[in-house]
Structure 1
Amino acid sequence: MDHRVLLWLAIGLSISMSFAWAVQRRTGSSGWIDTIWSFSVGAAGIASALIVEGVLERRIAVLVVIGLWAVRLGTHIGWRTKGGGEDPRYARFIEDWGASASRRLFWFLQIQAAAAFILILAVYLAAANPSPFPHLIDLLALLVAVTALTGEALSDHQLARFRRSPQAKTEVCETGLWAYSRHPNYFFEWLGWCAWPLLAITASPWTWLSLLAPALMYWLLVYVSGIPPLEEHMLRSRGHKFEALQKRVNAFFPGPRRR
């Protein structure tokens, strides 16, 4: 591994999240944080694929996958934010932090930069994999990535369509993929990061660090900044209707509905 490249990637991510903090403080809109985070991770991943020494075909595949992920997710969150939708998770954090919200938000976003670096490490290791491309495991990785990108885009589209309906003010989304998981967009986001260890792992012990990416993403989405604050918000705003949904539908992994 080229430690200088990784250092510069870490610095770049820290600067990007400092910029995200400044944008949120100026606009009062927290949605721009995740927009900037998505594009920053994508830019760092593309830089990794361009800079690292490795198999050209593999580096191109890495560049395309991380680029498509960043453009789709960043554009989706950006349009949603531009439309005036505030992220209830950040809104609750800022409310709870009170007078120290500005300072605590800054350091919270620096933690997000550190988490982004762990994700980018997996992308870097995938691009640096010296194995000929493509092997069967590489094709499996690309299938996982395409499935994840498609599933997350479809989930976001179905939720956006529901939010435009009159029922959105009082009901919970339970159409399409949302009938089988309360957070299918989170599931497919995690699934996408499962593709990177498949592209990265070789006999070198360093490449096993790529497993940290899906492990970290699962922990964040399921236990920290994904499902818990969002479901807390849904329970406050939808009450017993969301409680009933929790009994019918799995939280994360898609599965059969329960009666």
Structure 2
Amino acid sequence: MTPWLAAVCGAATMSVAFIIAWGLARKWDNYSLVDAVWAFGICFTGIFWLAACGDGSVKLWLAGGLLAMWSLRLGSHLERRIRRAHPQEDARYTKLREVWSGRVPAAFFWFFQVQALSVVILALPFLFIAADRDRAWSPWESVGLAITLLGICGEALADAQMTRFKSGNPGEKEICQKGLWRYSRHPNYFFESVIWLGFYIYACGSAWGWTTIHAPAIIVFLLLKVTGIPPTEASAVRRKGDAYRRYQETTSSFIPWPPKRMG
């Protein structure tokens, strides 16, 4: 299959998949479902491209393996979190319901389609890897592989530490400051950005892979300015008040760093 045909098929499949996801989310009255579908969707799209355009080389197999490791772990983590919280919806989507009052289903339909488009755009590094005729291994793949694995391990550790903290039934105002959360208020977001940097560097070993710099840039922008830190911090301040404000004063918001001393 040619790369162009693979790209069109991948985009069409994601559009349909997110229409189905929207229908289920509307039926269950919980639009948080889109988060897990997004993570799984990037995996499906990237691996579809690698399989449709590739020849089964080690370079392609490892690219697909890295993508699957990231997607299946994150998607499963999100799915469990959504299922445990149901019927309570993520605060971001509760806020969107308020903004889109009177047209919630229709607005979320197009929101889900935008997520489908984002899946295709963010998976493009893997299309370039699949389309490259040179299957030779280079230092780009080695560095990208190492960085991606570091990011996956770091994100998994951060999520496990937070899950362990919450399973201990902490008080409403208590804040997780154990492990990585002592050095960053959002270590999971930091390592997510590391993963996407690794994907990009891996893609740089393929012709035109360097043009996919948009993928890690979009992820970092979203984490820092849109769907990541801003709504998470706002929600934490509402729920935890001064305790979280003190945490903000002493602890890095993104990059893990030794905490400041108070006073």
| Superposition TM-score tier, normalisation by shorter sequence | over 0.9
Which of residues 124, 130, 137 in structure 2 aligns to 1:121?
Answer: 124
> Cα distance, 1:166 vs. partner?
2.8
Distance in 2, Cα, partners of 1:172 & 1:195? 30
When normalised by structure 2's length, the TM-score is: 0.91
Determine which of 167, 190, 199 is the counterpart of 1:187.
190
Change (3 A) 1:21 1:40: same
Q: Which residue number in structure 1 is paired with residue 137 of structure 2? A: 134
Equivalent of 1:96, from 92, 99, 108?
Answer: 99
Partner residue in 2 for 1:255:
257
Residues in 2 aligned to 1:18 and 1:186: alpha-carbon distance in whole angstroms: 27
Taking the aligned partners of 1:9 and 1:241, their CA distance within structure 2 comes to 46
CA–CA separation in structure 2 for the residues paired with 1:52 and 1:258? 51
Asked if the contact 1:10–1:114 (Cα under 8 Å) also holds between the matched residues in 2, the reply is yes
User: Tell me, which stretches of 5 or more residues in structure 2 are unaligned?
Assistant: none
Moved more, 227-236 or 100-109: 100-109
Q: Distance in 2 between matches of 1:164 and 1:55?
A: 42
From 108, 113, 133, the equivalent of 2:111 is 108
Paired position in structure 1 for 2:172? 169
Query: What residue identity is the alignment partner of 2:33?
Result: W
Gaps of 5+ in 1: none
- Counterparts of 1:1-259 in structure 2, within 5 Å, are 2-53=3-54, 56-84=57-85, 86-202=89-205, 204=207, 206-259=208-261
Question: 1:148-190 CA distances to partner (integer Å, 9 max, x unpaired)?
Answer: 1111111111111111223252212211111111111111111
- What root-mean-square deviation, in Å, do the aligned CA atoms of Structure 1 and Structure 2 show? 1.8
Separation in structure 2 between the aligned mates of residue 111 and residue 207 of structure 1, nearest angstrom? 24
Give the residue type in structure 2 aligned to 1:183.
H
SS at structure 2 position matched to 1:98? coil
Task: Give the match's secondary structure for 2:254.
Answer: coil
Q: What is the identity, as a one-letter code, of the residue corresponding to 2:226?
A: V
1:246 & 1:109 partners in 2: Cα distance? Answer: 32
Using the TM superposition, give the Cα deviation of residue 120 of structure 1 relative to its aligned residue in structure 2, in angstroms: 0.7
Secondary structure, counterpart of 2:123 in structure 1: helix
More helix by share: 1
Cα distance in structure 2, aligned partners of 1:113 and 1:76: 20
Residues 37-95 of structure 1: per-residue CA shift (max 9 Å, x gap): 11111111110110113671111011111111111111111111221253222222223
Amino acid of the structure 1 residue aligned with 2:221: W
Letter in 1 for 2:8: L
State the aligned residue count: 258
CA distance in 2, matches of 1:43, 1:156: 23
The answer as to whether partners of 1:16 and 1:37 remain within 8 angstroms in 2 is no
Query: C-alpha distance in 2, partners of 1:96/1:198?
Result: 38
- Aligned-partner residue type, residue 83 of structure 2: K
- In structure 2, C-alpha distance between the alignment counterparts of 1:166 and 1:45, rounded to whole Å: 39
Q: Quick one: which amino acid aligns to residue 100 of structure 1?
A: R
Q: Which amino acid aligns with 2:213?
A: L
Contact 2:11 2:120 in 1 (8 A): yes
